Structure 1
């Protein structure tokens, strides 16, 4: 295994078109589940100049105005440009009502173990969960830092510290590794869009971004940029106006940003826009939960958990563990513990994490909070799959 290398990960702000689509899709999921925790919904969104397209298949047991949800998200994110805003953008919809399904109305909290065994998955998928001890969130340092920069870039715009910024932005961090441990910051890249291309000029933008975004983001980090760290701020020049007027967006196109920044494997399935009955969403959380508890229990410095599901089965047909030569115990022993103490069945995952009720318990805004800054490694949210309450079993 390679020990010395440089690795980069990227993140994006709330206003990036792909993330805007994720947020709209998950806001619709939140709205339906808030009204009825047993709602079924699969929704995708696409945006371009002045246009939003919504495609959804859902069970008609809730009264949701899809277009109104989309307009509220666009407004909340901060798009008020003439080229794209919540009032004048055209919203096209393709909505299909699913037939009512009694088999999906189960109350997982009341099911016996044998009843949970009868609830099978309807999708085939292989998912990966990953954790490592590079950061306090137990995720790789490059994506951890990229998310911090994206969050700070959003913050200085929303608080009008840099009032000229538009919602669209991107960040990237390169980290050099020695003996598979991060030891220095190789590079930092930030692309920030502006409402007015003339305000400010590029030189002032570079100074403002460095002082209000980069420096605060690294304040509490053990590894700081050094004199050789390469810093790029809008290396292609002024980006105006950014957003859907500059490039299109689509739900589910930023899986690496949602997970581990390409440092570890992830499924090709989108996480956003799906209710908790979709195993390709919820099992990604279950795999992360398992991997994080393994690392938190000091069984390995890095751990990848693989879960493979096939249609018509309740349990994963395969559970694999890879510790990348950092394990303190045999991987076969870890797999045995996972099989004994973790429930990877669909209804078991929903019950363990209370996934159907989280929107109503969070004022109708749970899943949409995941749409930006990652679904994994979040320290700002109380996410059930980020708990380390299983370390005592190992």
Structure 2
């Protein structure tokens, strides 16, 4: 089986996962309107982002569950299951009733499906990164995993495009009443394609070798926490630094563009979707650089770009026209290309092969779940309390990103020459 086949199947599956996940962000103005009481729009937005955050809270649960399966029964079977669960949860999100139709049942169902999504995603990304890492040739591991890393902006861009196309093909009234459900419903087609491709995959050769030697971990998570806890903590910090940048520029940005910059939800999707799709090559560049100058330097460059640009660009957004706004968001999302383009590879290489799926997934999902998942809620809440939509950017995003930069500089090891079979 060629490395191209491995990358293609891993990438399309992970793309579907991120498309499903970001559809919620893209449609957050409609979710706030239809799934929560209309008496206070500001409260509805905060509740919308709290439901968004629930999926991140449970992602460590998915990391433990699917990490255990991935390190015990194999990489391939495990991340096939995560894809199916995620796809079905997203499809059913397009069918649930609104608050006007079902009252409190509506947000409860929404929350339940977000939790299912989060558990599945908790095992998906770690599985895809681990699978590609264990197939890639030495000296090219980061580059090939760069294609997996590029799936979040591609998924975000595709979800935004689906929203825009649905709004163009339907009347304004049709889109406002039921057309906003289409991105959730059409995801089932992508899920079916991903399942078809992943069924064709063989097991990771590194995992097969571990099985032959009789060295499969009995309780992977216990081994991770007992022997590799310091690297879990470093991984959490590194993942958190990326996450606060990512969900400030791809989550909170929708609320900011609509409420502060006075854009329509469709315009907000055009701005963010165009920016996300245009910066995909930056992910591959970051991954390519990671194999040459090292994972650590590339990651730190991304954090530095974010700290230098986020506040001034957010400040300018309300005064910019549509395409200049897209350019500003391109710069912000571009910073995350350098952090995320290399993040998965750097985290996976921190752990030995027998517990790699569990260790990488736990560190990644704790960092992203505990810090990134709450970013839109915290930034929105601080802005509401202080009556300044940029206050949360400084008091939360910048603080976490700066702390991650310091930890990476002082503690994160360089692993580009590590033997991943060990």
Using the size of structure 2 for normalisation, the TM-score is: 0.26
Larger radius of gyration: 1
Which is strand-richer, 1 or 2? 1
Using the size of structure 1 for normalisation, the TM-score is: 0.28
Which is helix-richer, 1 or 2? 2
